[in-house]
A and B are shown apart, each in its own frame.
Chain A
Amino acid sequence: MTSFLQATLYGLLQGGLLGLIAVGFSLVWGVMNIVNLAHGAFVVLGAYVGWQVNDWIGLDPFLGMFVAAAVLFGLGYGLQRWLINLVVNGPVFITLLLTFGLDLMIVQAMNIAFSADYRSIPTSYAGNSLHLGGVRVPVGRLLAFGVSVAVTLALVALINRTRTGLSIMATGMDRGAARLMGIRARHVYALTFGIAAGLAGMAGTMVGTVGTFNPAAAGGYTLLSFVIAVLGGLGNMYGALIGGLVIGLVEAWAGQYLSGTWINALAFLVLVVVLIVRPSGLVGRAYYAARLEV
């Protein structure tokens, strides 16, 4: 029983962080119909930014993640504003390929700048644990979970309650109408991509604090974001959080009771079944990715 509780707790803590990793991916996909294959590279780049400021001035990663978020926001804004906007009306393959090219460039640049070695951002406390009646709660993961959930909720509030957020939502629902209402679609798209990249960078710094990372990990995070975004469904900011928790739990339970790497197979099985049974995801709405562009 204790081992089950331990696995469940670990799955939930991991799931919250996975949700933050994927929420930007889901936002970009839902609003702009772009599947961003460079998303995992943003996550790892965020981890390196957090690592670098920690190395230079000893900044705590839970503060350094704001630096990572700012750097990645700038990068994301610029990329969308001056590059991805050039092809955003094209067929799906086009944006897919463009972001694939970006992924290759960012990952290789990180390889050259930081080498392929595994790294971790050191803290004095992240490895400690609290004990709750036989169940061990790692402090670093608990903090990362708390921050992830808080940031996701803040994003929901931003999207649903501010002018900026509503203009993002409006552009996602009907770009033509939004432009007629005076919304600057190019700027809003860039803002959306910047927010997504910033959140990925923030999540990346936390990933680097509770575990290890290297440039080759980027592809895995992209794939995971894919799975989580689909599971949760697009067009709903809670979707990524729910998808993340589901995947976190499935992987933790499978890790407890199944041998080898059957865990990964299970995650994909869940994905394919959800797609066939409920293509719009657990809490998503179908029209988002399937709508026509003006």
Chain B
Amino acid sequence: MAAAARWRPLVPWVSGLLLLLAALGLQSQLYSGQERTVTAIFMFVALAQAWNLIGGYAGYASFGQVVFFGIGGYFTAVAMTHWHFSFWTCLVLGGAVAALFGALIGMPLLRLRGHYFAIATLGVAEGIREVVTNLPDLTGGGAGITLPTVGDQATTAYLGNDGFYLLFLALAALAVLVSALVAGSKAGFALRAIHQDEQAAGAMGINTTRIKVLTFALSGLITGLVGATYAFQQVTIFPERLFDVDITVLMVVMVVIGGSGTVLGPLVGAVVLQFLSEYLRQNYTSYHIFLLGAIIIVAVVLLPQGAVNYVRDARRTGEYSLLANVRRYRL
């Protein structure tokens, strides 16, 4: 019994490692269409984890999170096309630029709370999209920009389905790892304290501004890395796609359905929702968005606290009834 208790903290790490190995082993079993689907799942795992840092732990609902995705992607596109950087340099610098941008806009915007923060970040994302659209000499404008991936101009050989599978898997693993490390660290407790009562957290000696800005930058870094990789994968990118507000909304949906403020929640949410969305797309072509909307509504009504939090609470209290769940937030 004592031995079991000693090994218990290792269980999440070991299961995470096994999951990573399983994902690596899965690759050889997939044909290319399936491989692309699973790659998209990895991408959203990383994005959902990044959003969860600021939206889940700290409780600051960033509705302009996609701006980091777009900045990472466009930095990569511009640097590879005009300055002939290799993709790997762009990946690192794109992430860094996104993180820096997060810190810069975080300082004024993280003073706002609740809906106001949500809208201000949304405004920034829409504004940056317009800036990118209106600089056609640099970014190609609304007509898009094509990254040099073949011929003499190519600075880095195109990675192909297999390469992107591994790269997005690595990003997803990195995002889960960061989330797990933050959750267990002093910073993670500080963020949760801010979520519950920011004034009290400040009174306890937490430098709330610093920790919020750093978390926002970290969240921007991961999102920027994913955006940079996405731009290289897509080859031709457009402002409408790279700054698409739907990408932000998907991150939020995945985190909330999975369970916000947990390490496992965004992972579960991203896998389930992306898989379900792909299944519906293939089997109910014209109705799939309608069905997806209905599923989101049902999930929000029945599991408002997210799947992971529901299971954890239900195991502790023995209360498995979904109706009790509905009663909680009902008027």
Residues of A within 8 A of B (CB): 29, 35, 83, 85-90, 92-94, 96-98, 100-105, 107-109, 112, 185-186, 189, 219, 223, 226-227, 230, 260-262, 264-265, 268-269, 271-272, 275-276, 279, 289-290
Q: Is B301 in contact with chain A by the CB < 8 A criterion?
A: yes
Q: Are A101 and B293 in contact (CB under 8 A)?
A: yes
Residues of B within 8 A of A (CB): 55, 61, 108-109, 111-116, 118-120, 122-124, 126-127, 130-131, 133-134, 142, 245, 249, 252-253, 256-257, 260, 286-287, 289-290, 292-297, 300-301, 304, 326, 328-331
Which chain A residue lies CB-closest to B130?
A265
26 A-B pairs with CB atoms under 8 Å apart are A85-B330, A86-B331, A89-B330, A89-B331, A93-B55, A93-B61, A93-B252, A100-B253, A101-B297, A103-B293, A104-B292, A112-B290, A219-B245, A223-B126, A227-B119, A227-B123, A230-B116, A260-B133, A261-B142, A265-B130, A269-B123, A269-B127, A271-B123, A276-B111, A289-B114, A290-B113
Tell me which residues across on chain A come within 8 A of B293, comparing CB atoms.
100-105, 108
> DSSP class of B's interface residues: helix, strand, loop or mixed?
helix
Central interface residue in B111, B120, B142, B245, by most chain A CB within 10 Å? B120
Other A-B pairs, 9, CB within 8 Å; known A86-B330, A93-B260, A268-B123: A93-B256, A108-B290, A223-B245, A260-B134, A261-B142, A265-B134, A271-B120, A275-B112, A276-B120
| A164 to B130 alpha-carbon distance, docked (Å) | 43
Q: Are A276 and B330 in contact (CB under 8 A)?
A: no
Q: Are A87 and B329 in contact (CB under 8 A)?
A: yes
Which chain B residue lies CB-closest to A275?
B120
Which chain B residue lies CB-closest to A89?
B329
| CB-contact partner of A87 in B111, B119, B300, under 8 A | B300
Q: Are B130 and A268 in contact (CB under 8 A)?
A: yes
Tell me which residues across on chain A come within 8 A of B257, comparing CB atoms.
97
| CB-contact partner of A104 in B112, B131, B289, B330, under 8 A | B289
Min CB gap B104→A, angstroms = 13
| A189 to B116 alpha-carbon distance, docked (Å) | 22
Min CB gap B178→A, angstroms = 22
Which chain A residue lies CB-closest to B327?
A86
**Given A101-B297, A261-B130, CB of A85 within 8 Å of CB of B123:** no
| A261 to B287 alpha-carbon distance, docked (Å) | 33
> DSSP class of A's interface residues: helix, strand, loop or mixed?
helix
| CB-contact partner of A105 in B124, B133, B290, under 8 A | B290
Q: Are A87 and B330 in contact (CB under 8 A)?
A: yes
| A219 to B126 alpha-carbon distance, docked (Å) | 13
Which chain B residue lies CB-closest to A234?
B115
Which chain A residue lies CB-closest to B136?
A260
**Given A105-B290, A189-B331, CB of A100 within 8 Å of CB of B296:** yes
| A104 to B250 alpha-carbon distance, docked (Å) | 12
Tell me which residues across on chain A come within 8 A of B122, comparing CB atoms.
223, 226
Min CB gap B58→A, angstroms = 13
| A279 to B120 alpha-carbon distance, docked (Å) | 10
Q: Are B115 and A88 in contact (CB under 8 A)?
A: no
Tell me which residues across on chain B come within 8 A of A93, comparing CB atoms.
55, 61, 252, 256, 260
| CB-contact partner of A108 in B111, B119, B289, under 8 A | B289
8 tightest A-B CB contacts, nearest first = A104-B293, A265-B130, A101-B296, A105-B293, A90-B329, A268-B127, A101-B297, A108-B290
Central interface residue in A107, A223, A268, A279, by most chain B CB within 10 Å? A268
**Given A97-B252, A230-B116, A260-B134, CB of A112 within 8 Å of CB of B286:** yes
| A154 to B123 alpha-carbon distance, docked (Å) | 31
Min CB gap A37→B, angstroms = 8
| A50 to B205 alpha-carbon distance, docked (Å) | 59
| A78 to B133 alpha-carbon distance, docked (Å) | 41
Tell me which residues across on chain B come within 8 A of A109, comparing CB atoms.
290
Which chain B residue lies CB-closest to A227?
B123
Tell me which residues across on chain A come within 8 A of B326, comparing CB atoms.
86
Q: Are B331 and A275 in contact (CB under 8 A)?
A: no
Which chain B residue lies CB-closest to A270?
B123
| CB-contact partner of B130 in A85, A86, A92, A264, under 8 A | A264
